Amino acid sequence: MPHVEIKCYPGRTEELKRKCAERIAEEIADILGCNISSVSVVIKEIPEAEWKEKVWDADIAPNEKYLYKKPGYTYE
């Protein structure tokens, strides 16, 4: 615990994704008071054309009550 899943458009380098995952893991460990070795981070690249179906409809809309940071866009 905890596990974080990041979904974003393709195009970032492997180096940039590793750096992002490491920083997020460090912040989570610090904020939640857990050991960094307990944190896992996955980054999945989702093409823009598939974003609504694979992210908005599958993850964001059905989990709205659990979102602590909501996106500034909608598909309504």
Contact 50, 8 (CB under 8 A): no
List, by residue number, the catalytic residues: 2
Contact 19, 28 (CB under 8 A): no
Half-sphere exposure of 65 (CA within 13 A, CB side): 1
